[in-house]
Each structure stands twice: as C-alpha cells, then as structure tokens.
Amino acid sequence: MMRYQANAFKRQANKALQDTTLQQALDRAQTGFVARRAKALELVDDFEHLKQQARAAKERALSEAAYLLERFECQVTANGGRVHWALDGAELNRTVIDICRQAGGRRIIKGKSMVGEETGLNPALEAAGFELVETDLGEYIIQLAQEPPSHIIAPAIHKTRHQVADLFARHHRQPPRTGDSIANLVAEARQQLRAQFLSADVGIIGANLLVAETGSVVLVTNEGNGDLSANLPRTRIVVASIEKIVATLEDANAVLEVLGRSATGQAMTAYTSFYQGPVQDDAAGSPQSYHVVLLDNGRSDLLAGPYRDILRCIKCGACLNHCPVYSNVGGHAYGSVYPGPMGSVLEPLLHELASTRPLPNASSFCGRCEEVCPMGIPLPRLLRQLRDRQHEQQLEPQGWRRGLGIYGWLSRHPRCFRLTLKLLRGALWLVPPPFWGQGRRPLRPAGRGTFVEQWHRASRNER
C-alpha cells in the first residue's frame, strides 16, 4: 500500500514546486483538462439544469441508500452474480483474495479502481501470491514505476513521455523502439497488455455507478481496458463503495450527463457499459463467475452527519483540475489516496483527523472547486468545518494556535491592532530578501502608511 504521508504535505509540496519536470507536466495537464471541460460546457444549452438533475438523482439515492442497496443485491443475485459486503478495506481485500483463491487462478488483470487504491488491494493480492497487472494505461505506467496515482482520473499525469519511455525500456523485453513518440508508446503498451488480457484468470474492475432497479454496474472508460478485464477472464470481481448506488437507469443517465463533461470534456466517454450479470458466451460453455464487493469504510456514518454532501462525489476530478493548490503541487504532495479538494474533505473523514492535519488547510478558499463541481458539493464549507473540528480537538501546531490567539485578541482591540500593523510594516523593510525563502518573491510594503491608513485616506478623498 502507498505510504500514508498526509502530514508531510508542506515538505512534499515544497519539493513538488521545485521539480521542473513535474511543473511542466502539471501545466500541460491543467490547461488540457480545463480547456476541454469549458468547451464541452459551451455545447450544452443549460449545464446548470443537468447539474440539478444529477444532484437530485444522487440525493434520492442517499435518502434511501439501505433500500436501494438491498434491491441492487437482489437483482445481482437474480441475474446470476453474488454481492459481498465489506465494512472496511481489510475486509474487502480478504473477500477479493478468497474469491480469487476459489477461482483457482493466479493471474489477475485489473481495471482502474480508486476503491482498490483506498483499500490497498494490489499489495494485498500480491502478498497473497497473485500476479496482478493494471490495464488502464495510466495505472500500468505507475505500477511499473511503483508509485501511487497522482490524479483520480489520470493517474500518471505527472509523467512525461520520456519518463514513460524509460520505464517501458526497463520493463518490456522487446527490441528497442524507434523514437519515443506517444503513438509508439501506446502501441507498445497495447501489445504488452494484449497478452495479459488473453491469459488472465480473474478480472477486477471498479464501478462508476450501481443501479438498484436493474442490478447494473456502470463502467465508464475510454480505453476499453475495463471492459476487456470484465469480460475475458472466467471470474469477474467488481469493487465499489456503497455511495455509488442510484435508483434507476434514468438516474444513472442523469449522472452520466455531467460525469464525462466534467472529467474529460466528453459528452460521453468512448465506452459506457451497463453490466447486469455474468458473460454469456456460446463459445465458452460454462458461465462466468461474477461477484460485486461493496465497501463501506466509514461512509455509512457520514450519511447522517454534517459531511453527507461529500457522498454525492462522482470522482470526476474537476475540482482537482481547477484547484490552484493541486495544479501547483500535483497529487503526490497530498500523501493520501484522494488528492485535491475532494480528497482534502474525504481523507480526514476516512482516516483520523490527526493523520491528515494539513489537508483541510491545503486550500486558499478561492471557491473554484465548488463552482466547477457538477454535484454541487460545498467543498469550501466542508473544509471549513474540518478546520473547526481540528481547532476544537487542538490539532493545529502550537505556534499556529498561539498566533491565532494573538490575532483574535488584536482584532478585538483596534488600537493595538493598528499599532501592530505599523510596527510590522516597518519590520518588513528590514528583512533582507534572502530570508523570504527560495522561490518566493520578497514582499515589500506598497504605498504610504499601513493598509488601514491608506484605506481611510482613499475613502476621505472619495467623499
């Protein structure tokens, strides 16, 4: 499993800011995602209306989550599959390992799954003796690099083509490539993974949605790797968290209307599959064995509380792509599975608040995340609630708490506040630029007098 290092955010962020290769990759990624989403939204008459419908669909589902999950289970069973329930990550991993053992296979192919990342499924399977290959190109790249994903929909966004070419050269036993063009790299990965698809015993996939009325697992992809993983092996395992449930096929469509546009700027991704039951194949004879493992991991506790809104998240990644913090430091700096604004809310709720201290503070509260979130999740409000909780539990560093105490006192004593501002302004002139730290601009007081003095002067002049 990735090492959980959320509390080292500051150090990791500083490192990321000085990594020029990473900065180039992030620049490219951010402009690409943001521009494509903007273009996709331009083509829709009323995106706000689509957002409202998607949000309503998810709210309906959360309001009757228990009933809908039971209905989903019933339908999957009727369609020839089996539903398993996991209270936490360890139980999900154990369940998946048991199914793989019963399947009698050793080779596993896997489609992209953030739930699998959350539970550390890959290392658990490898420790149990299974051979596992990630088949989403981005996931495959980071599996070779032995790194965690840095984005929820584009896991290898931090890698350049040359880094990918080096990785492939080290891991693929084949004659050297002619040139590092992206087309060549994609073709090479295709060739390598083809053999894996055709020989795997078990396929594990994630789910974008679960539909109660039909027992459907909805899988949204562009590469087709998820569908190959779901269909070719004799055993299919779907891992999904419980908040993926929606009531009807129409409700699933409502979410799909906003998912592709917000994620990759596509009205529809290349493949959206609704899986009701195991593969039926005249050529194969016996039916495929089909399992869905549902993960709670603390989500059911969130439903009745003040953080319920985050359960509407459809993992589109728009809040990451538009976040000034994420776009500058990238996903690895967060040291957690889910990065960016949605991760800064979800991670402290899934883990201890104390082990994710910097995350709710890794935000400038510019509000961009809430603006672009297709599910209307009030991310800044949720982050503020978490900050309040941290304060109540006295989790901030001593220096910070003391500083806040001083600021609180000063703001209740305006004269002292103004005097302190004056002193600090004078002190700023005395600090030589090198002390402002590497890569930061020395801040110089602007204009005549403190900000408050300048403000009063300007107001008088206006009058």
Partner 1 sequence: MNGSHSRDRILSRLRQAPSAASRAPANPLSPVHGDPTRFRQLARDNHIHCEHCDEVTQGLQRIRQWMQEQELPSAPVVSGPLLSDARAAGWEPGPLSDLRRPHSVWINQSWCAVADTGTLVVLSRPEAPGYANFLAEHHWLLLDAGRILATKNDVWAQWRVEHDDTLPPAVHIISGPSRTADIEQTLQLGAHGPRSLNLMLVGR
* Nearer to ligand SF4 among residue 57 and residue 108 (C-beta): 57
DSSP 442: P
Q: Which two tokens stand for residue 459?
A: 């107001």
Q: Which of 118, 251, 309, 347 binds partner 1 (CB under 8 A)?
A: 251
* Nearer to partner 1 among residue 60 and residue 418 (C-beta): 60
**Which residues 274-313 are close enough to bind partner 1 by CB under 8 A?**
274-284, 294, 296, 300-301, 303-304, 308
The answer to whether 377 contacts partner 1 (rule: CB under 8 A) is: no
* Nearer to partner 1 among residue 291 and residue 368 (C-beta): 291
Q: Which two tokens stand for residue 373?
A: 């979130």
Q: Which of ligand SF4, partner 1, none sits in contact with 373, Cβ below 5 to 8 A by type?
A: ligand SF4
Q: Which of partner 1, ligand SF4, none sits in contact with 336, Cβ below 5 to 8 A by type?
A: none
The answer to whether 273 contacts partner 1 (rule: CB under 8 A) is: yes
* Nearer to ligand SF4 among residue 25 and residue 319 (C-beta): 319
Q: Which of 19, 77, 224, 389 binds partner 1 (CB under 8 A)?
A: 224
Q: Which of 6, 16, 22, 69 binds partner 1 (CB under 8 A)?
A: 69
Q: Which of ligand SF4, partner 1, none sits in contact with 271, Cβ below 5 to 8 A by type?
A: partner 1
Closest CA to 274 of 231, 211, 229: 211
Instruction: Report whether 88 contacts 297 (CB < 8 A).
Output: yes
Q: For residue 225, give every residue at least 6 positions away whose Cβ sits within 8 Å of its Cβ, in sequence order, or none.
A: 111, 112, 135, 136, 137, 193, 197
Q: Which of 238, 242, 263, 313 binds partner 1 (CB under 8 A)?
A: 242
Distances (CA, A) of 386 to 348, 354, 433: 8, 11, 35
Q: Which of partner 1, ligand SF4, none sits in contact with 318, Cβ below 5 to 8 A by type?
A: ligand SF4
Q: Which of 55, 110, 159, 315 binds partner 1 (CB under 8 A)?
A: 159
* Cβ-defined contacts of 375-378 (< 8 Å, 24+): 375/51, 375/54, 375/55, 375/58, 375/258, 375/312, 375/313, 375/314, 376/51, 376/52, 376/55, 376/312, 377/309, 377/310, 377/312, 377/313, 377/342, 378/309
The answer to whether 119 contacts partner 1 (rule: CB under 8 A) is: no
- Exposure b/e, 263-279, CB count within 10 A at least 16 = b: bbbbeebeebbebbbbe
* Site residues (vs ligand SF4, CB under 6 A): 262, 313-319, 342, 372-375, 377, 379
Query: H-helix or E-strand containing 1?
Result: none
Please state the closest distance from residue 163 (CB atom) to ligand SF4, in A. Answer: 26
The answer to whether 95 contacts partner 1 (rule: CB under 8 A) is: yes
